[in-house]
Structure 1
């Protein structure tokens, strides 16, 4: 039986209705995976997931991803990363605080970037903290031939340190060693659907081809402005117990700030492609 769905964005982003991810059979799981890949962002509301259930579902989507920033991982389930502004014993419980997060795609600074990211909302602020998604395949398709020629066949360098410097915290040396800078194509082909998309992560990109750092930043800003047009964007307003899954090969995302006195606590997991498909092409 086909799952019921509701389209949310402008040609992408789908809500999948009446699914319990903690008790999903293989047939329904295959539909969720197919809907997610087709629509790039999938929203499943009203979930109740233990940590074990969250990790189990994620692993059924693909090989588990473990984030290099181990200070924000669950001690019991290191596959889970906390995204939060809360503190525990005077130290941040999770990553990213309450400030605005600029456009990026997850873990582009790794050789095999995480394919899918899943976020489970435990606590959400009453205002702010919304996540915006940009459809990079639609943005690529809408480019003129001249614009496409400027990115086709070109590569960009992605660094774990760029966002760290913007947020004024130092990345420990052992984490830098685990995530050295990587060069990836600026146009990425979807590993299963054969569609093309910009591979754009302004929060991580430091260089484009042979351009200087200054000229690279100008080109990154130009591409970001293009891809962030309203016609390519879906805004997700979080509710408690939402699960959102996004395809890092096809979308970028950003987050609005929210008041520091309000609580936001998310559990984040991710999954890779199989190794033979994992390196962007």
Structure 2
């Protein structure tokens, strides 16, 4: 039996498509190793025609490590590790900004697995950008300036209180999440724990300030970095079809869920694999 995966790059910096793998079946060690090394190299992998039940998505994600349970997002019935991102007229999208998932904790996720379940007639693409490519494109003086700086990441920047007042229970859950997740600090440039590559690690979704700088310096530098990381040449864009799966390295990427389909409905399931403390 041929276990060699077909992994075809979609661009020079980020993105590849895997064409001969059924994620609903348990992966052999050889298949998993190729998938993992492909992920390290390409930062985000895409697979078409993957019919995954929440339990199967969880089983795949656990191969990569322990799973995160999100403090406010709803989850699949009986599978709390699978977040349900169900956006529609009564639940507007909130992922239409450039962000790295869950950087508001001490050990942000290493990997995420997103599966499409219900899609709008058109629109709703997701874009990923490479923090590695963004870092490597910086000049030597800017790299030197950023090296050693730390930035604050805050849960409240993306999860705004007014969005969680539909019910007393929802607001209470938001308040508990705020108490449990005070702002944390991470290096502005992080080193990938496996590849050793350096990547830009500030994102518009959660990064509030560079703690070592004055307010105006921080605002100016973050404004530049937020714009720099979203240059089109560092990106890959995926047009979803039903039962597509994307697997990405959350340590060195950012993504943007295009909200151009709203108020149509879009349902995605996400598993999030915990990572380690950035350095």
Normalised TM-score (structure 2): 0.90
Alignment-derived partner of residue 210 in structure 1: 212
Alignment-derived partner of residue 148 in structure 1: 143
Q: Is the 8 A contact 1:3 1:28 kept in 2?
A: yes
1:56-85 alpha-carbon deviations (Å, 9 max, x no partner)? 00101211111111x512241110111121
Partners of 2:78 and 2:180 in 1: CA distance: 22
1:111–1:99 Cα change, 3 Å: closer
Number of positions where the alignment pairs a residue of Structure 1 with one of Structure 2: 268
| 3-state SS in 1 of match to 2:63 | helix
- Given the alignment, which residue of 265, 268, 277 partners 1:266? 268
Consecutive unaligned residues in structure 1, runs of 5 or more: none
Cα deviation, residue 168, structure 1:
4.2
Equivalence map 1:66-145=2 (5 Å) = 66-69=69-72, 71-86=73-88, 92=91, 97-98=92-93, 101-145=96-140
1:186-212 alpha-carbon deviations (Å, 9 max, x no partner)? 111111111110112111111102334
Cα deviation, residue 215, structure 1:
3.6
Partners of 1:14 and 1:146 in 2: CA distance: 32
Partners of 1:198 and 1:251 in 2: CA distance: 9
Alignment-derived partner of residue 240 in structure 2: 238
1:102-126 alpha-carbon deviations (Å, 9 max, x no partner)? 1110111101101111100011112
Alignment-derived partner of residue 30 in structure 1: 33
| 3-state SS in 2 of match to 1:35 | helix
Normalised TM-score (structure 1): 0.90
Consecutive unaligned residues in structure 2, runs of 5 or more: 165-170
Cα deviation, residue 16, structure 1:
0.8
Alignment-derived partner of residue 277 in structure 2: 279
- Given the alignment, which residue of 40, 45, 49 partners 1:42? 45
